[in-house]
Copies of this chain bind each other. A is one copy, B any other.
Amino acid sequence: MKPNVKIIDCTIRDGGLVNNWDFSIEFVQDLYNGLNDAGVEYMEIGYKNSPALLNSTEPNPWRFLDDDFLKQVIPEKKTTKLSALVDIGRVDPNDILPREESILDMIRVACYVREVDKGLELVEMFHNLGYETSLNIMALSSVPEQQLIEAFDMVRESSVDVVYIVDSFGSLDPRDVMHQVKKFSELIPNKTLGIHTHNNLQLAFANTLTAMRNGVTYLDSSIYGMGRAAGNCHTELLVGYIPKTTYELKPLLHVIEKHMLTMREKWEWGYIIPYMVSGILNEHPRVAMAYRNSDERDQFVNFYDKVTTPEASHSPMPK
């Protein structure tokens, strides 16, 4: 097992997609302290997108991270590092301080494979400002191989530190992950690899373990799995299971006990049938998420018919 594995807890960022980032400052502080005590290496504390570029007028501190605000939330930085995610076309370069003036350590860039050039432009900028960087290529399960090979010609020459395999649709299984890790390792042997999973098929933890055992270093997760739709690999499973002497499960159990049970009652994520179906179909969960917000939310047969009839312009059952 790789001893230098690093966990990035994405609860605030990916979980924010569940509750529109309705996290109390107390929760974020408890989570930071819990992750730190548990030995988790990174906490992704939100998106660093620009409200102007998203036409947003409502305040949303974890979606539009601000360094001054963050320094109030975490006045005393401990061992756990902080990261933020940005999207192509949604981040204003003028918002980003040089790393020595920021509380953030890492900036991660999410992009689709067709935008890798734009993604790497941002990476270059953040790298030059002193940040650790990653490129998170989304929707990997539906990327044609040739497109990935071309994108990787650029990635290989870039200054990006970590390249992520992102299973946006939660449709990969351990065998698929092994295949992707092998491909990434061959095409960009000079880059450290990461994995970000979704739990539509209850395979997020297995996929993350498989990635780790095949040489992937950065493992994304969220506490109690809180992330969009079916959620992510559970941070407490990684910390409890991976034999790294610095990991301690108990501080995470404390956060779960104090916060996550009530949060799960208030907001919905996890293994839910429409998300399972979209995972099997290798599709974005947005149709399923809309369905879960409708009056028909528990009519699973109806949902299945909707997304599998040809006129719905969804792809047919892949296997």
Q: Which residues from chain A sit less than 8 Å from chain B, CB to CB?
A: 173-175, 199, 201-207, 209-210, 213, 234, 236-237, 240-241, 243, 249-250, 253-254, 256-257, 261, 271, 273, 276-277, 280, 298-301, 304-305, 319
Contacts and interface: CB of A to CB of B under 8 A. Distances in A.
20 contacts: A173-B206, A173-B241, A174-B206, A175-B209, A201-B241, A202-B205, A202-B234, A205-B206, A206-B206, A237-B276, A240-B276, A240-B280, A243-B319, A249-B277, A250-B304, A250-B305, A253-B304, A257-B298, A257-B301, A261-B298
B280 A174 contact: no
Given A203-B206, A240-B280, A301 B253 contact: yes
A201 B207 CA distance: 13
Contact of A277 (B173, B240, B304, B319): B240
A214 B85 CA distance: 39
A152 B252 CA distance: 42
Contacts of A234: 202
A184 to B, nearest CB: 20
Nearest to A249: B304
B276 A236 contact: yes
Contacts of A243: 319
A175 B178 CA distance: 13
Contact of A174 (B201, B209, B256, B257): B209
